[in-house]
Chain A
Amino acid sequence: MSEPLWIAVCHRDDVIPDGGACVFYEGIQIAVFRIAARDEWYAVQNRCPHWNEQVLWRGMTGERDGEPKVACPMHKRTFSLRTGAAFAGDTPDLLTFPVRVVADGRVFVGVPSAEVVARERTAATHAPCGRAE
Chain B
Amino acid sequence: MKQTVVVVGNGMVGQRFCALLRETRGCERFRIVVLGEEPRPAYDRVHLTEYFSGKSAADLEIAPRSWYRDQGIELRVGTPAIAVDRGRRVVAAGGGLEVRYDHLVLATGSAPFVPPLPGIDRRGVFVYRTIEDLDAIRDAAASRQSAAVIGGGLLGLEAAKALYDLGLSAHVVEAAPWLMPRQLDRDGAELLAAKIRALGVQVHTNKRTNEIIGTESGGMRFCFDGGESLDVDLIVVSAGIKPRQELAAGCGLELGPRGGIAVDATMRTSDPTIFAIGECASHDGTVYGLVAPGFEMADVAAAQIAGFDKSFRAGDLSTKLKLLGVEVASIGESTAPQTMEHTHVAVRDEVAGVYKKLIVRRETRTLIGAVLVGDTSDYANLLGLFRRAEPLPERPLSLIVDGTAVRGGEGAELTGDSLLCTCNNVTVDDVVTAVAGGAVTMPAIQACTKATTGCGGCGPQIKQVLERELQRAGVEVRKQICEHFALRRQELFDLVRVRGFHTYSEVLTQCGRGGGCEVCKPVVASILASIHAEPASEQPVIQDTNDRFLANIQRGGTYSVIPRIPGGEITAEKLIAIGEVARRYNLYVKITGGQRIDMLGARLDQLPDIWEDLVTAGFESGHAYAKAMRTVKSCVGSTWCRYGVLDSVGFAIRVEERYKGLRAPHKLKSAVSGCIRECAEARSKDFGIIATSEGWNLYVCGNGGSKPRHAVLLAAGIDDETCLRYIDRFLMFYIRTADPLTRTARWLEELDGGIDYLRAVIIDDVLGIGAQLDAEMQAAVDGYRCEWAEVVNDPEKRSRFRAFVNASESDPSIAFADERGQIRPSSGGGAISLPPVNGGPHEDAPVRFEEARHV
Contacts and interface: CB of A to CB of B under 8 A. Distances in A.
A122 B26 contact: no
Interface string B733-760: 0000000000000000000000000000
A60 B553 CA distance: 14
A127 interface: yes
B828 interface: yes
Interface in B326-377: none
27 contacts: A16-B540, A18-B541, A19-B540, A21-B805, A38-B515, A49-B832, A50-B26, A52-B27, A54-B811, A58-B557, A60-B543, A62-B518, A63-B515, A66-B514, A71-B517, A73-B544, A122-B834, A122-B835, A124-B813, A126-B833, A127-B828, A129-B26, A130-B827, A131-B22, A131-B26, A131-B27, A131-B28
Given A16-B800, A49-B832, A90-B308, A9 B806 contact: yes
Given A53-B556, A129-B27, 11 more contacts: A17-B541, A18-B541, A22-B805, A24-B803, A24-B806, A55-B557, A71-B518, A76-B518, A126-B830, A129-B829, A132-B72
Interface residues of B, number: 59
B117 interface: no
B542 to A, nearest CB: 8
Given A24-B809, A55-B553, A90-B25, A63 B516 contact: yes
A131 B518 CA distance: 24
The 10 closest A-B pairs by CB, nearest first: A62-B517, A63-B515, A73-B545, A126-B830, A127-B828, A71-B518, A21-B805, A127-B830, A19-B541, A60-B518
Contacts of A130: 555, 827
A61 B553 CA distance: 17
Contacts of B815: 127
Contacts, number: 153
Contacts of B545: 58-60, 73
Interface in A97-133: 119, 122-124, 126-132
Nearest to A53: B557
B244 interface: no
Contacts of B666: none
Contacts of A63: 484, 514-517
A29 interface: yes
A73 B827 CA distance: 18
Contacts of A94: none
A126 B805 contact: no
Interface string B153-182: 000000000000000000000000000000
B27 A14 contact: no
A90 B515 contact: no
Contacts of B517: 60, 62-64, 69, 71
A44 interface: no
A15 B805 contact: yes
B70 interface: yes
A47 B833 CA distance: 13
Given A23-B806, A65-B483, A71-B518, A16 B555 contact: no
Contacts of A14: 805
B830 A60 contact: no
